[in-house]
Structure 1
Amino acid sequence: MNTTKVSRPPISSLQQPNEAERLEVLRNYQILDTPPEKAFDDLVRLAAYICGTSVSLVSLIDAERQWFKANQGLEKYSETHRDAAFCQYAMLSDDVFEVHDTTLDPLFQQNPLVVNDPNIRFYAGAALMSPEGLPLGTICALDTQPRMLTEQQRDALRILAREVVAHLELRRARLQLEQEQQKLEGLLRMANNAAETMFVGSRNEIFVKQDHKLVRVHTDDIRYVEALGDYVNIYTSRERYTVYSTMKELEAKLPVREFARIHRKYIVCLDRITSIEGDLILVDTGRSAERQTNATSVPIGNSYKAALLSRLNLI
């Protein structure tokens, strides 16, 4: 087998990126330590098929480790220390970085992954270059036997590297879209809550169902509300509306500052209270045909009296 090494740039001459900037770009992908994903797993399987190797990886180079996003043939490892990573050199190369026989290469012959399990003898990696032009890691093919790639295999590895980056970009775009959607949903919830709060504080009308139609009732025309089992009577200055509802539901729809629950069966408009006599309240219900003021007496529940008195301007 031909084990002559293909010429490659000396490591000292490879361009070193700004490491802080490179790491920031890598971490912006939010991919480190994420579960396996089929898109990346498929690409390493394809790399192993094309290159005829037993191992293929998508390796991302973090500050002190190489972490495998996709892994075929080296499943017992999820990461290694960066010092042992072939990929930290391959990602700095302008082209496919290939080591035909690691035992003959001074840079790698003492590497723990060569000397010990898994006894790597062959390595070929193509850099994953971000759109900013910064290396993130590699897609690589490894084997326990020395070998040499054909030019077609090297070209395929270059293509696969671009595909990995394309999937990284799609993944990042999807995450950003999801995050923006979550922010938008949060803003909408805040806006809805604010609108609801404003509505609760300023609502001045309700709709009641009468004879198969909805009737608008202005709350400033409501004198008092009376519960009757599963129904409530709403008394205005001119009409009485009977609706299927509970006192709790209706109380929630009325302006809090204008109405008070004074009994388990009664809600009154504070502005329509004309007097309080013992355990009774007189409520102005409007004027009769003779232009005389009509008043209706409504009982006060003992448990509601203190709260009612605290809301009145007593002298």
Structure 2
Amino acid sequence: METQISANNDPLAAAYLAMEHSAFYDVPLKNFAAPWTNEEQSLFVPLNDYSVTVIGMVRDEVPFNQLLSADLLYQGDPALGLPPYSPANNDHYEALEVSGVPLKDALVAARQSDLNGLPATATAGVITSRQAARAFFIAGTNRAMFRFTLLNHLCLDLEQIKDTNRAADRVRQDIPRSPGGDSRLFLNNCVGCHAGMDPLVQAYAYYDYDEVAGRLLYTPGQVRPKYLINADNFKPGYVTPDDQWDNYWRAGPNALLDWDSALPGRGNGAKSLGVELANSQAFASCQTKKVFKAVCLREPVDSADHAQIAAMSDSFRANNYSLKRLFAESAVYCRGE
């Protein structure tokens, strides 16, 4: 590595060489992904199919814009003699962690549909991992899955993107239009999130988490009951008929998230929604900011930092969405700090 820097004057190659060390995958990369896998955003969670898939995608430089849509999961190599992958428990990944085998050497890619029984068309990368279902499809209304996907992968919370000028025709019945008897609360606050969010969350209408069986449920053609709860809150509200989603935020101020103009902005199911989200400039910028913070151990603080973030975000997209390259470029920029 020293030779790459001094003799060859190639710090980027040196950064790639450093990432060949197994410790990169076992500690910083594991800690990088772990908070995305739980509502508490805690580092202190066992390895699971979500975090291991992130680690494997980085190792193999799988285009990271497939994170939310691919028919892909990583697991431990069957040759390790671990308990087999199960869609109903986390035993495989916990045994992998306990084994101490370096993750750099232990992981193999598999078709998610072969492991969890979903049709390939219903797989959506980490969104349909067991861990994501357990954390974000459990109970509720499936809005949690969307909110935490925004937080983790677009670096945005709903308050930051609310827009009270979008049509409210897809806001579900469970949202009161006059909370506390005051319609202004809905018109000036609630609608700002729900008018855009509810048409997107419709993508998850056939997904749920079975707490008893401990696994993701998928019922094609059958909207989950959670989408129809609390109908008396506003009877004229939207009744979800299927999993067709529309991105109302392609218009108005959230057009600044720079959605891919080559995509239609609508579709059916979690996979196509994952494509929509992960091909936005907001997704690329978010990955860049997260990697910068993980490597440099700080937020960007000045104009030079922000210019670097913008340049790396462009590089990320230009280099086939390689998250590994983002780690290398961040290390080069922050070296010596």
Q: TM-score, normalised by structure 2?
A: 0.23
Higher relative contact order (CA closer than 8 Å, sequence separation 6+): 2
Q: Which has the higher helix share?
A: 2
